[in-house]
Structure 1
Amino acid sequence: MHTIFQLFLSFLKIGAFSFGGGYAMLPLIEREIVTTHKWIHYKDFIDIIGISQMTPGPIAINSATFVGFKTYGILGSLFATLGVISFSFLLVSLANHYMKKFKESKVLEFALKGMRPALIGLIISAFISLAKQSYFDIKSIIIGVLVMALLLSKKIHPILVILLSAVFGILFYG
C-alpha cells in the first residue's frame, strides 16, 4: 500500500538526484513510479510524458503533477509537484548564496564538465526506453523519421511538430 507521503518522497528523490532537466529525470521517474512502486502502467507513463511535453512548463514538474493526480487526485498533484521541486528550490537558494564565493572554483568547473556527458547518457537512456514502447510498427517509425527530418532540416517549432504528428497519426491509423 502506498501513501501520499511515499509519493512525495519518491518525487523528492527524483528531484534530488536528477541533474540536467526533465528529460534526464525520465529514467528515474520511470524506475521509481512504474517499476518500483507500480503506481502507473508503462503505457500511462508514456501518455503522461506526451501530455507533459505538450503542456506549458518543465516536463519534470508536469510529469510529477500528472502522476500525482493519477494516484491521489488534486492532493497527489500538490504533493508530487512539491516533492520534485523542493530539492531544486533549496539547492538554487543555497547556490545563489554561495555562488560568488565558488564562482572561480576549478573543482566546481571540473565537476560540471564531468556531469555533462552523464546527462546526455540519461537523456539517451530515456529516448531508448520510450522508443521501445513508441515504435511498434512501420507507421510509427515513418512518423518518427518524418518528424526528425523536419526538425533537423527545417527547424520547425516543436508545437507544430506535435500537431503534425497528430495529423500523421490520424492519416496513418484512422
Structure 2
Amino acid sequence: MQLFETFLKIGLFSIGGGYTIIPLIQEQVVYQQEWLSEQVFADIITISQMTPGPLAVNTSTFVGMQINGIYGALVATIGCILGGCIISICLYQFFQKYQESIFVSAALKSLKASSVGLIMSAGFTILTMTFFGTSELSRSLFSRFDWQAAILFAAALMILRRFKPNPIFLMCLAGIVGFLIY
C-alpha cells in the first residue's frame, strides 16, 4: 500500500514528462523511503531510458520490481499512471470549456517554463551520479570524479555530433565499452 501511495503521489504531482519525474522518484525512493541506494536508482534510470516506453512508467516499474518483485512492479506502475489518467480526463474537459481564456494560456506558458527547469535538474542529477557516484553536492565531491565515465561520455557525445550514428547503436557500443572498463 505504501508503494502504491508513493507512486500515486509521484504520478499526481509530476508535470512535464519523463525527465521531470526523475527527481521526484529519487526524492521518494532514495532519500525519504530509503528503499534504494543512489547507485541502484542510477542503474534503474539507465535501464529505463533504454527500454521502449515512457520513461516515468519504465522507472516506476523497475523501482517497484526492485522493491517487491512482480507485485511491486504492478502496484508502482498503476500508482504512477492512475493519477495522470484522472488528471488528463479532467484537464481535457476543463480546456474544452475554457480554451479561449487568456488566463489558461498564461498558466500553460508557466508550466512549460517549469518543465524545462525540471528537465535540467534531471539531467544534472544523472550527470552527477555518473561522474561522481552521487547526486549530493559537497566539497569532497571532486575527489570521487570518475575520469573513465567522463571520457566515455565525451567520446560518445563527440561521435554523436560528428558522425550522427543511430543512437541505439551508440548506446550499445558505450554499454560494451563501459562493461569492459568497469
> TM-score when scaled to structure 2?
0.85
Match of residue 90 from structure 2: 94
Of 9, 24, 30, which residue of structure 2 is paired with 1:28? 24
| Aligned with residue 111 of structure 1, among 96, 107, 113 | 107
Equivalent of 1:19, from 15, 20, 23?
Answer: 15
Alpha-carbon separation, structure 2, partners of 1:69 and 1:158: 27
1:133 aligns with 2:142: no
1:98-117 CA distances to partner (integer Å, 9 max, x unpaired)? 33222222112111111222
Counterpart-to-counterpart distance in 1, 2:101 and 2:159: 42
Structure 2 equivalent of residue 70 of structure 1: 66
- Alignment partner, residue 144 of structure 1: 153
Distance in 1 separating the partners of 2:123 and 2:62: 20
Pick the aligned partner of 2:77 from 51, 57, 81. Answer: 81
RMSD across aligned positions (CA): 1.7
Report the CA distance shift for 1:170/1:47 in structure 2 as closer, same or farther (over 3 A): closer
Q: Structure 1 unaligned runs (5+)?
A: none
Q: TM-score, normalised by structure 1?
A: 0.89
Structure 1 residue ranges, 4+ long, deviating more than 6 angstroms after superposition: none
Q: CA offset at residue 17 of structure 1?
A: 0.9
Instruction: Please give the secondary structure, in 1, of the residue aligned with 2:115.
Output: helix
1:161 paired with 2:170, answer: yes
**Amino acid in the other structure paired with 1:126:** A
Aligned residues: 169
1: CA distance, partners of 2:159 / 2:97: 45
Q: Aligned in 2, Cα 1:167/1:73: closer, same or farther, shift over 3 Å?
A: closer
Paired with 2:86 and 2:148, the residues of 1 have a C-alpha distance of: 45
How many angstroms apart in 2 are the aligned matches of 1:160 and 1:110? 41
Letter in 2 for 1:159: I
Q: Note the C-alpha offset of 1:77.
A: 0.8
**Aligned equivalents of 1:72, 1:170: Cα separation in 2:** 27
Alignment partner of 2:5 out of 9, 33, 38? 9
Q: How far 1:78 moved relative to its partner?
A: 0.9
Which residue number corresponds to residue 137 of structure 2? none
Aligned counterparts of 1:98 and 1:18: Cα–Cα separation in 2: 19
Deviation at 1:160, TM superposition (A): 2.0
